């Protein structure tokens, strides 16, 4: 399982004191407001930044990092990813999963036949889709709904599909 998660993307500077707008990837902000430091990743480089001020401005969060005191300095962070440990990521409700934990899980039929594996979870217009890479190497998108996904077990490392016609 993944120990680190990307929880937000740094947007444009905000104001004259070096704040940046951060767009949470989960849509939730409460866990971000509790942070004291984060790892910032940009252009293949990572560094830890300490948070001096943080405030909620739904749907974004405004953050000022220690040592970033001007709009010009804040602009250098635009596009960076905020990374935190699992314990600081958005809490999960029952039946929710971190996408990174689902990636790579074997996808089985309801008769335990191996169909492929989870390549990704994608946001579609009508909801989330599971991208399944079939054993043939082809990829299919399946609605992430109980009509098709009957079981997800991180413990047993599997995703079970029904209504296999969706793969045709």
In the numeric block, which tokens belong to residue 78?
Answer: 């635009």
Does residue 132 carry a pLDDT above 70?
A: yes
Preceding amide of 155 cis, omega within 30? no
Q: What are 45-64's pLDDT values in tens digits?
A: 999 999 999 999 999 999 99
Q: Provide the residue ranges of all domains of the chain, joining segments of one domain with +.
A: 4-88, 99-167
Average pLDDT of every residue of the chain = 93
Residue 142 has pLDDT above 90, yes or no: yes
Distance CA 121, CA 105 (A): 12
Average pLDDT (112-125) is 92
pLDDT of residue 93: 86
- Residue 96, pLDDT score: 86
CATH number belonging to domain 4-88: 2.40.30.60
User: What's the whole-number mean pLDDT along residues 13-34?
Assistant: 93
92 confidence band (pLDDT: 50, 70, 90): confident
| Tens-digit pLDDT profile for residues 80-91 | 999 999 999 888
Q: Does the structure show a pLDDT above 70 at 1? A: no
Q: What integer pLDDT is reported at residue 99 of this predicted model?
A: 87
Q: Which CATH architecture has domain 99-167?
A: Roll (2.30)
pLDDT band at 124 (very low <50, low <70, confident <90, very high): confident
Counting residues of the chain whose pLDDT is more than 90, the rounded percentage is: 79
Which H/E stretch holds residue 30? helix 30-33
Tell me the helix, strand and coil percentages in the chain, rounded to 5. 10, 50, 40
CB atoms within 10 A of CB 136: 8
pLDDT of 30 above 80: yes
Give me the pLDDT at residue 65, please.
97
From residue 121, alpha-carbon distances to 62, 106, 113, 126, 159 in Å are 28, 14, 21, 13, 13
Report whether 6 contacts 83 (CB < 8 A).
yes
**For residue 126, is pLDDT > 90?**
no
């Amino acid at each position: 399982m993944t120990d680190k998660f990307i929880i937000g993307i740094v947007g444009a500077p905000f104001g004259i004191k070096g704040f940046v707008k951060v767009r949470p990837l989960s849509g939730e902000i409460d866990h971000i407001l509790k942070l004291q430091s984060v790892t910032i990743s940009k252009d293949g480089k990572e560094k830890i930044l300490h948070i001096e001020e943080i405030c909620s401005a739904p749907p974004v969060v405004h953050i000022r990092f220690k040592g970033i005191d001007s709009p010009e300095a804040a602009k250098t962070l635009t596009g960076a990813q905020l990374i935190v440990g699992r314990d600081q990521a958005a809490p999960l409700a029952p039946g929710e999963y971190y996408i990174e934990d689902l990636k790579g899980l074997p996808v089985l039929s309801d008769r335990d036949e191996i169909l492929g594996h989870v390549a990704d979870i994608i946001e579609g217009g009508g909801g989330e889709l599971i991208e399944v890479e079939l054993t043939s190497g082809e990829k299919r998108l399946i609605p992430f709904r109980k009509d098709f996904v009957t079981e997800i077990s991180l413990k047993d490392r599997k995703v079970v599909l029904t209504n296999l016609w969706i793969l045709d």
